[in-house]
Structure 1
Amino acid sequence: MRYQTPISILLSFMIAAPAAIAQDYQTGMKELVILEKDGTRHLNGFLWYPTTEVENPVPAHGNVVWEPISVIPDAPLTTETHPLVLLSHGMFGNARNQAWLASALTKQGYIVAAIDHPGTSTFNRNADQRRSLWRRPQDISRTLDYLLDQPAFKSVIDPARIHMAGHSLGGFTAVALAGGRFDPDHFDGFCADNPADLVCTIFDRWNVAKSNTDRAAMQVDLRDDRIKSIAVFDLGGTQTFSPESLGQISTPMIVYGAPQDISGLDLDVESRALVTSLSQDIVQYHEPEGLAHFDFLGVCTAAALDILKEEEPDDIFVCEEGRQERRAAHQMIVENVAHFFEDQS
């Protein structure tokens, strides 16, 4: 069996279900467009939310490779207040990547928001915006500002229950929002000793923190204290943060490491190192046997592997064991994360 769940975790699920679980919620969806005043970094994405509407569900965020989720576009929001989860996608991903998580959480009473990060998204790989990685955490804070400023959304979001989840480069984004501070001297020294490290090579190729102006911008404290807890999914970028800043983080984190080596990330440098650096009373770590970096993407269709072999053979790995095995991984991740968020509320 590829994916195994510890018995202790299964028992905890049977003993207590998250208080956020509600009665027969469906997934409503609205598109998000967040304009930047006097700027060009406009944000596009989606808001998924619990609704009691049941009419006219449609498939969304699917194609020949990815299975869709079921949503009811522009369904009425409930009048109750709900916890909010903000999502940050990985390198060259997009707001749809964790729609599976959004779908599961909305049915448990969560509101979920995700945006495309300009420069590092599927749809925008502009080199200047890609280089400006300090803007990624700011994107999430801007999204939160926007939601809390809109009367229709503000009235149903509980400000005491705001959480976040980030995958890969989105995990880097999440750690920065928790108070991790980019340390260029520490990172330069690490890369001098480890020139083949994946994050070192990517940041070098992207010209991250090469100019004095950029180095200063990357070192700014990007913490957002409105975010009460964070889920980190197989992050890349732990080695960019000062160890001192990681040790001072007080935001509770549930961290997942993916031991099946597909992405090129080194767990000893990334997830394991992050967990070691954090205060042990705020962190929960999971490293499930067989979990792969791309298991945090959606479930692949039955035809996905054949299509990728024909059209994108270099990308086959994103759908290897990407159906029933991935469904099992998603189920455990959702249960763990929902319990963790609820425990921090």
Structure 2
Amino acid sequence: MKRFLQMATIVVATMASSAQAQNYQTGLADLTIADTAGQRDLEGFVWYPTTETEELSEQHSNQVWAGIKAIKDARPAAGQHPLVVLSHGMYGNAMNQSWLASALAQRGYVVAAINHPGTSTWARDAEDARQMWQRPKDVSRVIDHLLATSDLSEHIQPDRIFMAGHSLGGFTAMALAGGRYDAKAFGDFCDGRPGELVCGIFANWNVAQTPDDIATMSADLSDPRIKAFAVFDLGGTQTFSSESLGRIKTPMLIFGAPRDIEATGIDLDVESRALVAALPKPSVTYLEPANLAHFDFLGECRPNGLEILKQEEPDDAFICIDGATERRALHAMIIDEVAVHFARQ
């Protein structure tokens, strides 16, 4: 009977998502959140449902990346809508999951993403990168702003807030869910695996290298307003204490990406699979499609995007391998899974 009820919930959620996708276009607006101390201003975008249909145009595109269709500064659809906050990966940016944000907006969600200072494409300041604890705080600031002072405040359901993160954004998600940094356990792990990707990144960025930084990094950075998470091929599982992960009951949709792991250095056995093993089983849905690669969570590449990268950025060209038709199909699957996961809550 329980299994039947679960399946019925999924069917209803899927039908609801499909119906919403037919009702809305994507509205798009710039997002700016000033820091009163002037130290960490945040900039990004917010995607939201609109019933307007005029002035639909391509956004967030260039010669390499396909964009989305959206209406700039459109009037939001009437009523209140769930909120999703996205967090990009290392040296990514707020446009990386624009494909997901637009699809969720068409299903009735307000979606926000910002460029994390220090770890984004155009902001790589070493001092900002060192303060890794600021990443989850950035997400909480986005929620604060959108609920209280933005033009969309009256259109957001405060009891239906969700979050999704890719790669380092997945680390950010787990901190917001209640994962607590464990300096000793992480140090022991890195001593035994000196070539591990996250160990090298944290060392290069001087993350948690002083007693004060360790204390700040180890604090509770969770945000109980977030009712469910989607985690996309994260890095950083071993930074969290197993005890804190074992206490997380918030529903989790976790994707592991097994294809082309030699290009990223992300070992699923110490990342996504280890995370799933540490979390309470009732809270987790784990998916590991054999054809899913780490950079399939970025946007869809244009047909000639791979050739452009081979000529202009050859070291990065691999991010567009199978990045057009194949990635489009994976995006459709991810969108459906995320929409159903959030609609269940």
Say yes or no: TM over 0.5.
yes
- In the TM superposition, residue 150 of structure 1 has moved relative to its aligned partner by 2.1
Q: Is 1:17 equivalent to 2:18 in the alignment?
A: no
2:90 aligned counterpart, secondary structure:
coil
Alpha-carbon contact 2:185-2:241 (below 8 Å) kept: yes
Report the CA distance between 1:80 and its aligned residue: 1.0
Task: Provide the C-alpha distance between the structure 1 equivalents of 2:15 and 2:155, rounded to a whole number of angstroms.
Answer: 19
Deviations 1:121-163 (A, max 9, x none): 0010000000100000000000000001126322110111110
Letter in 2 for 1:68: G
Quote the Cα distance in structure 1 between the aligned partners of 2:147 and 2:205: 33
Which residue is 2:172 aligned to?
A: 173
What is the alpha-carbon distance in structure 2 between the residues aligned to residue 39 and residue 28 of structure 1?
29
After superposition, the Cα gap between the structure-2 partners of 1:178 and 1:157, relative to the gap in structure 1 and judged at 3 Å, is same
In the alignment, structure 2 segments of 5+ residues that lack a partner are 1-7
Q: Alpha-carbon deviation of 1:211?
A: 1.0
Q: What residue is the counterpart of 2:208 in the other structure? A: 209
Aligned pairs (5 A) from 1:246-285 = 246-260=245-259, 261=261, 262-285=263-286
Asked if 2 retains the 8 angstrom alpha-carbon contact of 1:18 and 1:342, the reply is: no
Cα gap change, 1:135/1:18 in structure 2, threshold over 3 Å: closer, same or farther? farther
Equivalent AA in structure 1 for residue 275 of structure 2: L
Q: What is the match of residue 162 of structure 2? A: 163
User: What residue in structure 2 maps to residue 297 of structure 1?
Assistant: 298
Q: Which residue of the partner structure matches residue 146 of structure 1?
A: 145
Q: For the residues of structure 1 that align with 2:187 and 2:223, how far apart are their CA atoms?
A: 26
In the alignment, which residue of structure 2 is the partner of 1:4?
none
Contact in 2 for aligned 1:13/1:335 (Cα 8 Å):
no
The alpha carbon displacement at 1:241 in A equals 0.2
CA-to-partner distance for each residue in 1:89-144, whole Å, 9 max, x for gaps? Answer: 00000000000001111111111000000000001000000010000000000000
Distance across 1 between alignment mates of 2:290 and 2:53: 38
The question of whether the paired residues in 2 share the 8 Å contact of 1:301 and 1:323 is answered with yes
Do the aligned partners of 2:32 and 2:42 also contact (CA within 8 Å) in 1? yes
TM-score normalised by structure 2 residue count? 0.95
Residue of structure 1 equivalent to 2:186? 187
Instruction: Say whether the 8 Å CA contact 2:44–2:114 is kept in structure 1.
Output: yes
- Structure 1 counterpart of 2:104: 105
Q: Say which SS state the counterpart of residue 30 (structure 1) adopts.
A: strand
Which shifted more, 148-157 or 167-176? 148-157
The alignment partner of 1:334 has SS state of helix
Deviation at 1:16, TM superposition (A): 5.7
CA-based RMSD of the aligned residues comes to: 1.5
1:155 is paired with a residue whose SS is helix
Distance, in Å, in 1 between the alignment partners of 2:45 and 2:211 is: 35
Give yes or no for contact 1:257–1:286 (8 Å, CA) kept in 2. yes
> Residues of 2 paired with 1:290 and 1:122: CA distance?
27
CA contact (8 A) 1:89 1:95 kept: yes
Report what 2:38 is aligned to.
39
Displacement of 1:14: 7.0
- Letter in structure 2 aligned against 1:19: A
Contact preservation (8 Å) 1:177, 1:222:
yes
Could you tell me how far apart the structure 1 residues matched to 2:193 and 2:181 are?
18
Decide whether the 8 Å contact of 2:94 with 2:114 is kept in 1. Answer: yes
1:134 corresponds to 2:133? yes
Q: 1:200-225 deviations in whole A, cap 9, x for unaligned?
A: 01111111111111111100100000
Aligned CA distance change for structure 1 residues 304 and 24 (closer, same or farther; 3 Å): same
2: CA distance between counterparts of 1:172 and 1:280?
19
Separation in 2 of the partners of 1:15 and 1:341? Answer: 12
Amino acid aligned to 1:317: F
Evaluate the alpha carbon distance shift between residue 18 and residue 237 of structure 1 in structure 2; reply closer, same or farther with a 3 A threshold: farther
CA contact (8 A) 2:13 2:343 kept: no
Does the aligned pair in 2 maintain the 1:167–1:232 contact within 8 Å?
yes
Structure whose residues are more often helix by fraction: 2
SS in 2 for 1:130: helix
Within the alignment, does 1:322 sit opposite 2:323 as a pair?
Answer: yes
Following the alignment from structure 1 to structure 2, what is the Cα–Cα distance between the partners of residues 204 and 16?
43
In the alignment, the residues of structure 1 paired with residue 15 and residue 336 of structure 2 have an alpha-carbon distance, to the nearest angstrom, of 8
**Distance (Å, rounded) in 1 between the aligned partners of 2:186 and 2:327:** 34
Q: How far apart are residue 58 of structure 1 and its match?
A: 1.4
Name the structure 2 match of 1:5.
Answer: none
User: % of aligned pairs identical?
Assistant: 56
TM-score by length of 1: 0.95
Aligned to 1:197: 196
Aligned to 1:50: 49
Aligned to 2:308: 307
Report if aligned partners of 1:18, 1:338 keep a CA contact under 8 Å in 2.
no
